[in-house]
Amino acid sequence: MSVNRSAATLVDVPRGLAGVVVTDTEVGDVRGLEGFYHYRQYSAVELARTRSFEDVWHLLVQGELPDAARAAAFTAETAALRRLPDAVRAALPGIAAAGRDSGPLAGMRTALSLLGAAKGFRPVYDIEADRRRADSVVAAAAVPTLLTALHRLGNGLDPVEPRGDLSYAANYLYMLTGKEPDQRQTRAIEQYLISTIDHGFNASTFTARVIASTGADIAACLVGAVGALSGPLHGGAPSRALDTLDAIGTPDRIDAWIRERVLAGDRIMGFGHAIYRTEDPRSRMLREIAQHFGGPRVDFAVEVERQVEAILAELKPGRELHTNVEFYAGVVMELCGLPREMFTPTFAAARVVGWSANILEQAEDRKIIRPVARYVGPGAPVAVPAVA
């Protein structure tokens, strides 16, 4: 059905815009029926298996995978941008203290705004493509520094200054823990980061593009994306998936615990996805990474996955419900020593690159994103009552 309102055509669309194509993109795609997703022309999982985070960052914002010389130059460029401006560093203790109960992701919204102001970011509408790209790299390089500093300050610890001789992933772990990172843990986190850089027009990416369509600066676009990511239906599930493992406790409790939740209509965190109708390829890769570490926790997670999928197939026949990226992401991050309150912030440390690529692409289109809503309230016009 369509209804004309002041020359505008209103068209019914699915709730949540599910399946609605809103623009064209060259950044990447998710093929939910195939269980496959890619960054530009390359398999995202294959990139995670074979390339560095910096290589994939270059691919997303520069449009191509770098050769060895360009990779070294880009790695050096981004490493040099990790240190924060003095004004931002001075403000972080206050931001951390004010948001002690909210966590580093909430604090980063404020810190990113301040970073944009301190760096003189201008509206993307007013600057050339090279300046937009430079601003995006400045912001993305600073995000791990902001997140780890806010986390440590919130826990009564001094921030750890970034190191230019470490990779993006290794430096992130170093700033988080203050210790030289373990090589195996670093590579596991790097593969997780690469696998979550971008994933279609998810809520935070779409938010970033809506803001970019207004011509706002890079920091404003990223702040909006972080706000969207902070919602538990988007980026907040890795720690909740681990909470499920803790609540179940032992293998003999899996069946009864899961059946009770499913029959009550509760959502099992870490299972099901809005796009995939087959196994989430990110979950498959992260399961393999977890199994390389091994141990009782991993064995228990694998058994929970097996039984939950069997119970869901029995109680919800015809629906393909498998583990999503959050389930094994939580297991891998726990194995690498990350505290649970840093799971979603770590997701943000990856996704900031995907957001940046989408912001840069959207900035090339000078058309603002301006949908409409169908009014369903009381009939209008009604006379405004006089004040009694």
**Catalytically active residues, by annotation:** 273, 326
Cβ atoms of residues 52 and 167 within 8 Å = yes
> Coil, strand or helix: which one is 20?
coil
Half-sphere exposure of 73 (CA within 13 A, CB side): 7
Buried b (16+ CB within 10 A) or exposed e, 227-239: ebbbeeebbbbbb
Q: What element of type H or E holds 30? A: strand 28-31
What is the number of other CB atoms lying within 10 angstroms of the CB of residue 187? 18
Please tell me what DSSP assigns to residue 11: E
∠ CA 241-247-250, nearest 5°, is 105
Please, are residues 344 and 227 in contact by the beta-carbon 8 Å criterion?
no
Q: Own/partner pairs for 228-235, CB < 8 Å, 24+ apart? A: 228/203, 228/204, 229/105, 229/203, 229/204, 229/344, 229/347, 229/348, 229/351, 230/105, 230/106, 230/344, 231/203, 233/203, 234/202, 234/203, 234/204, 235/204, 235/344, 235/347, 235/348, 235/351
* 14 half-sphere exposure, CB direction, 13 A CA radius: 7
Q: Angle between the 237-248 and 343-363 helix axes, to the nearest 10 degrees?
A: 150
